[in-house]
Amino acid sequence: MLDLDAPDLSAVVDGSLHELASGDLSDEYADATRHAMHAAADRGPGRVADGIAVLHCHVPIDGPVVSVLARLKEPLELDDGEGHHTQFVWLLSSHHKTHPHVAHASEFTHLLRDEDFRNRAISAVEPALLGELYAKGLNEQLHFEAHIPPELRRTGRLFGGIIDDIQRKAPHYVSDFTDGLTTKGIASVFFMFFACLAPAVAFGGLLSAMTNNSIGAVEMIVATALCGVTYALFSGQPLTILGSTGPVIIFMGILYRLCESYGAPYFPTLAWVGIWTSVFLLILAAVDACSWIRYFTRFTDDTFAALISLIFIYEAIKDLVHVFTDEHATHDIALLSLILALGTYLVATQLSLFRRSPYLRSWVREFLADFGPAIAITAMTLVAVALHEVQIETIAVPDTFAPTADRAWLVNPMEAPTWIIGASTIPAVLVSILLYLDQNITVRLVNSPDNKLKKGAGYNLDLALVAVLVLVCSLFGLPWMVAATVRSLNHVRSLATIDVDEDGQDHVTEVLENRSTALFVHIAVGCSLLLLPLLQAVPMSVLFGLFLYMGVASMGGNQFFERARLWLMDPEHYPPTHYLRAVPLRTVHAFTVIQAVCLAILWTVKTSSVGILFPLFIALLVPVRMLLERFFDATHLALLDSEEEPSEEEMQMLD
């Protein structure tokens, strides 16, 4: 209905039902519907925001669903907390479940947040045009064309995206350094120092084993510090943490085996692969290729993030199991290792939850929650020192600062045979795909609307910076660095102010956006090379516990894990999420199963002999997501795959 003349919600109800009087509503059902809607109008709408009010009520007798979208002639002055006038009212009533209709109302409210859509909806001259506008808006969202943030829009100019990213971030550059100088920032630095150092040491040891001691922990720590400091100073999204990741380590190990097979020198070959990779990534950044990342929706983001979280959890459990199966480890060593690992995990977890506690003052609770991981690492290390009679394994850092292999730091690419220069383009294409996806998916997760970030992002600038760092690392025989998903998400969470709702669910209210924490963390990682004897006192089992904590903590907010839990829960105790209120349960489970199958395939490929093709399988998540449009209702898919969590008002509307 267009231009309904109604001064209040009760008049909207009367005007809407008057139009329906000649329809299929019996007098008895019409009266019951009118009574239920007036009662809902007296209580106030379930949701008022973005220029729309929604009334949703239950009719006590059986009859058809009543669903009315009315555009008002004069807007109502309903308080939505942001000063918007209410131009639209959506009325919905039924005796039965109203999944599809609630989904339509919810999706329309999402579309109204787009200013262009709202203006066109207000100016539509016929009801059919408004319906077509809604269908077009929904279709654009499903095909990744709606709600594109400025940083993911194509500029059409060479280097245009990089220039725009610099201009977008320049006004915040000075405040980025000062904003992080708080107690929460200090807590983040302590936590993230170990969160970055632990994977550097662990992955350095793994890479050393895969490359026959060609590259080890020293190179990994140097690369982490060098790239981390540079990225913190010049990136578009400094909340992102660079580091070497499992897929990158596997790729470098496979490259070493290929060099052995073909009799090629490893470091010159690594340099040429890195040079070509840097060129390819710079080209992608120059032509705004990061805009393609909009095709990676919550479906692909959650699947990829779930894989990385599970890798951290798996590695922690595998290392603990190894302690128990190692023939050189006594029962005392195995038991103490288990206690230290679980102690680190439990102390960090419980302290991070302490902000929900009714005990102590609020600032004390926040302090303990922020410093939880650092307190856990310190406490468990002191326990190990006190029980020094049990000789457990500590961090395997070198005694001196020198390359793992007997070589100079600088690599000469011209020592490679001539054919290597051209042949290196093949693995360079694959590693470029891997770094492009790893970098941009992680940055997308960091910039998720759930995190309430306000300073904007810089996808193209960040990719260009990673390209330069890949070139530098390759010429010095260092491992490649890219955005590390688990570390980045934990960095964001360590800087977040968390609000706990009535259902015990955590919600981010704001994040301390800054460059200082990442800068100090990586300076500290670099300085750790000067404190190698001190680091050797930290038990490896403490780092296993930290890995476990990081993996579990990064699962929070991942909708895939939330939906997977439903398989084990009593339906009476399902959480009040927006998709459970608006989407049929069978559809929710089908969507989750498809995601689980994709996750299993990614895990299988990563651990198989064709692991070098892992980047291609990540990219294949996009066409899989597109195929889902053929099998799922459009509004259901839009709600399940929505980038943004609904507000509390929306959730109330769905009740």
Q: What are residue 4's DSSP bridge partners?
A: 72
Task: Give the Cβ contact number of residue 21 at 10 Å.
Answer: 9
Torsion angle of the four alpha carbons 15, 21, 23, 28, in this order, in degrees rounded to the nearest 10? 120
Give, in order, the Cα–Cα distances in Å from 1 to each of 16, 85, 130, 293, 421. 8, 18, 9, 38, 67
Q: How many angstroms separate the CA atoms of 276 and 280, rounded? A: 6
Q: How many angstroms separate the CA atoms of 647 and 644, rounded? A: 9
- pLDDT at residue 99 in the model: 52
* Greatest C-alpha distance within the chain: 92
Task: Give the Cβ contact number of residue 325 at 10 Å.
Answer: 8
Instruction: Please give the model's pTM, rounded to 2 decimal places.
Output: 0.68
Q: How many angstroms separate the CA atoms of 64 and 614, rounded? A: 51
pLDDT in tens, 456-511: 888 999 999 999 999 999 999 999 999 988 889 889 888 888 776 555 566 678 88
- pLDDT at residue 501 in the model: 56
- pLDDT at residue 360 in the model: 80
Residue 37 contacts residue 20 (beta carbons within 8 Å)? no
Give, in order, the Cα–Cα distances in Å from 231 to each of 64, 240, 376. 59, 9, 28
What are the residues whose beta carbons fall under 8 Å from the beta carbon of 415, sequence distance 6 or more? Answer: 265, 268
Strands 66-76 and 86-94: antiparallel
What are the residues whose beta carbons fall under 8 Å from the beta carbon of 586, sequence distance 6 or more? Answer: none
- Per-residue HEC secondary structure of 68-126 comes to EEEEEEEEECCCCCCCCCEEEEEEEEECCCCHHHHHHHHHHHHHHCCHHHHHHHHHCCC
Residue 9 contacts residue 45 (beta carbons within 8 Å)? yes
- For residue 574, the SS3 value is coil
Residue 237 contacts residue 443 (beta carbons within 8 Å)? yes
Both tokens of residue 591? 């969507």
Spans in the chain with pLDDT lower than 70: 21-24, 46-47, 49-50, 79-84, 95-103, 138-148, 396-399, 500-507, 535, 576, 578, 581, 611-612, 642-655
- Select from 437, 456, 461 the least CA-distant residue to 446: 456
- Select from 458, 448, 584, 470 the least CA-distant residue to 242: 470
What are the residues whose beta carbons fall under 8 Å from the beta carbon of 166, sequence distance 6 or more? Answer: 236, 458, 461
Torsion angle of the four alpha carbons 33, 36, 37, 43, in this order, in degrees rounded to the nearest 10? 180
- pLDDT at residue 6 in the model: 80
DSSP at 647: P
Q: How many angstroms separate the CA atoms of 405 and 215, rounded? A: 7
Both tokens of residue 167? 């201009």
**Where would I find the beta strands (DSSP E) of 144-248?**
242-243
pLDDT in tens, 551-582: 888 787 788 998 998 888 887 778 767 677 67
Q: How many angstroms separate the CA atoms of 96 and 84, rounded? A: 32
DSSP at 53: E
Amino acid residing at 291 = S
* Residue 506 backbone phi and psi in degrees, to 5: -85, 140
What are the residues whose beta carbons fall under 8 Å from the beta carbon of 421, sequence distance 6 or more? Answer: 272
Domains and CATH numbers, the chain: 1-147+558-655 (3.40.930.10), 161-557 (no CATH)
Q: Exposed, middle or buried: residue 509 (CB in 10 Å: 0-12, 13-18, 19+)?
A: exposed
Helix-then-strand count for the chain, H and E: 29, 8
Both tokens of residue 158? 């060479």
- Identify the H or E element spanning 57: strand 52-58
Report the b/e string of 155-180 with b at 16+ CB within 10 A. Answer: eeeebbbbebbbebbeebeeebbebb
- For residue 632, the SS3 value is coil
Q: How many angstroms separate the CA atoms of 436 and 306, rounded? A: 18
